[in-house]
Structure 1
Amino acid sequence: MNPIVAEFVGTFILLLLGNGVNANVSLNKTYGNSSGWIVISMGWGLAVFVAVFIAGSSSGAHINPAVTLGLALVGRFSWSAVPAYLLAQLLGAFAGAWVTYLQYRPHFSDTADQDTKLGLFCTGPAIKSTLNNFISEAIGTFTLVFAVFYLSSGEGLGSLNALPVALLVVGIGLSLGGTTGYAINPARDLGPRIFHALAPIRAKRDSNWPYAWIPIVGPLVGATLAAGVYMLVM
């Protein structure tokens, strides 16, 4: 598979299954309704597993602008390829959100709470605090990217890394994710947020754009710090 196509497909699968577990837990009259945070964390971990298994051998399965940035900063990925990877990731995330909406469309119509319909696409803070929310996203992404440096070889992850990195994401979700919903991936948050803004979802709220910079900038800062620490200790 072409690496750019693989990044699109991998990120599409990540968001289809990730937003899918959010929808299954959050929307009314699903069989998974109210099944809780552990189900969400496991669902996102399994989404990462499938995405990395599919894309790993072709693109290194970055499926995350923070991972792409981190690998470029430590010299494991070409800067010239960064823009195309980031665009593929953003478009894949948007497409994954779109298909999730198609899958659960009747349940959107049966769910009145506007925050729920936004929250299954993109993240938001459990307690609103700009500085602390930013720090939470930076710490979660630092943990992810720093571990990826040790899991990966060359320009990214291979298919055999699918299980370790999936367990890593489950661990981050269970241990660190309760503050902001652990975006730890700018494309994962921004692509679905754009979809929410554009989609004809009945009785939806605004897409909370004042918060949107935190799950973008926080992960990029976390990835930069991870790269700096990695180069210092290596």
Structure 2
Amino acid sequence: MSAIIEKSEEIRMESVGSYDKQRCTPSDSTANLADCDHCTAFPNRWSRIRYAIREPAAEFLGTMIFVIFGTGVNCQVFLSTNPSVEAVPRGDFLSLNFGWASGVALGVWIAGGISGGHINPAITFTLAVFRGFPWKKVPFYIFAQLLGGFCGGGVVYANYFHAIDIVEGGPGIRTINGSGDLLATYAASFLTPVSCFFSEFLGSAILIIGVLCITDKKNGPPPQGLVPLALFILVLGIGASLGMNTSYSLNPARDLGPRFLTAAVGYGTAVFTYRNQYWLWCIVLGPVTGMLCGAFVYDTLIFEGKESIINKPNAQAIERCLHACPGQGGKLPVGIESA
């Protein structure tokens, strides 16, 4: 009898990596599982895989949701202006801004606790330069963000392609002037290349200044859990004030992912040759340089944390073994704590 009791209370311990805690499993199904106080991070094989990819996966999912909301509201507002699609328009410029701001907030909320919720290659690159985000993670984050943008654009296109057929004049007809700007961004025709670049540069600089301020715990940050709401207000304000010229991409993944999608579904290579590779010098370089300059301005004038290259100790401080105090930047969407 005692042997049976011992067997029923046998505890199986296994080690499956440095991240694991001890796991116990009563061999008798009648045993009280509440008495089993050991656990493992990897109860099965998929949990191991998920742990290895969860940060890029979070960036992928957050970016995809962001693009679904944003390009979805683009399609709904524009396509519903055609009487053959809808008798009454379903939105206006205000709803466009609310849709994009909601996408940013929800995307950051989804990914923030896991990866930091960058959902933007320009932000990832800027944080690697100014906040010590690991460079080894940058390629994986950017690839996941671009893939998320591509998939998000694909979901929206699948939802609205019948209405796009009507607006374009028939199935298979796809033109940039007709519906190309529903998924990717294209500048207003009256803008010069310099004006296009400056519009993206300015909006991106303001965006990163707002992000760094919101996540700076020494500068009146929002209460825990309200960072997505603060970002909603930030993006809503940028769109309402600076969104007309270039549709305020401010995010290479938001544009390039759907742009690749449009090239694949019939818009052709014109999406890349438009205005002498507009996608490169405006949509990629504009946000990247704008955010680098915005972060430089914020760190030079405001930020005191040792994470920034602006606050690296000089020779005299090094000689005295001194350094700046930690900035205690928030995890959303800086992602330092999750690195």
| TM beyond 0.5 | yes
The answer on whether the counterparts of 2:58 and 2:115 sit within 8 Å (CA) in structure 1 is: yes
Give how far 1:171 is off: 0.5
Match of 2:72 among 20, 40, 47: 20
Relative to structure 1, is the Cα distance of residues 87 and 32 closer, same or farther in structure 2, using a 3 angstrom cutoff? Answer: farther
The answer on whether the counterparts of 2:183 and 2:255 sit within 8 Å (CA) in structure 1 is: yes
| SS at structure 2 position matched to 1:199 | helix
| SS at structure 2 position matched to 1:207 | helix
Match of 1:122 among 161, 184, 195: 184
Match of 2:11 in 1: none
Match of 2:297 in 1: 229
| SS at structure 2 position matched to 1:89 | helix
Match of 1:175 in 2: 241
Match of 2:308 in 1: none
Match of 2:270 in 1: 206
Distance 1:102 1:54 in 2: 23
| Structure 1 residue 11 corresponds to structure 2 residue 66 | no
Give how far 1:32 is off: 7.3
Normalised by the length of structure 1, the TM-score is 0.91
Match of 2:198 in 1: 135
Give how far 1:200 is off: 4.1
Match of 1:37 among 93, 109, 133: 93
**Aligned-partner residue type, residue 227 of structure 1:** A
Normalised by the length of structure 2, the TM-score is 0.64
Give how far 1:75 is off: 2.1
For 1:115-135, what per-residue CA distance to the aligned partner results, in whole angstroms no more than 9, with x for missing partners?
A: 241001111112231001001
Give how far 1:164 is off: 0.4
Match of 1:146 in 2: 209
Match of 1:106 in 2: 162
Give how far 1:160 is off: 3.2
Distance 2:107 2:69 in 1: 9
Instruction: Report which structure shows greater RCO (CA 8 Å, sep ≥6).
Output: 1
Distance 1:145 1:110 in 2: 39
| Structure 1 residue 88 corresponds to structure 2 residue 144 | yes
Which structure 2 residue ranges, 5 or more long, are not aligned?
Answer: 1-49, 170-174, 218-223, 304-339
Distance 1:205 1:109 in 2: 20
| SS at structure 1 position matched to 2:261 | helix
**Aligned-partner residue type, residue 151 of structure 1:** I
| SS at structure 2 position matched to 1:111 | helix
Give how far 1:33 is off: 3.5
The answer on whether the counterparts of 1:24 and 1:32 sit within 8 Å (CA) in structure 2 is: no
* Percent of aligned positions that are identical: 36
Distance 2:91 2:201 in 1: 28
The answer on whether the counterparts of 1:30 and 1:107 sit within 8 Å (CA) in structure 2 is: no
Distance 2:231 2:142 in 1: 20
- Hey, which bits of structure 1, 4+ residues long, moved more than 4 A? none
Distance 2:227 2:245 in 1: 27
For 1:92-139, what per-residue CA distance to the aligned partner results, in whole angstroms no more than 9, with x for missing partners?
A: 000000000111121111112732410011111122310010011000
- Say what the alpha-carbon RMSD is for the aligned residues: 2.2
Give how far 1:74 is off: 1.1
Give how far 1:35 is off: 2.6
Match of 2:104 among 39, 48, 60: 48
Larger Rg: 2
Give how far 1:208 is off: 4.8
Higher helix share: 1
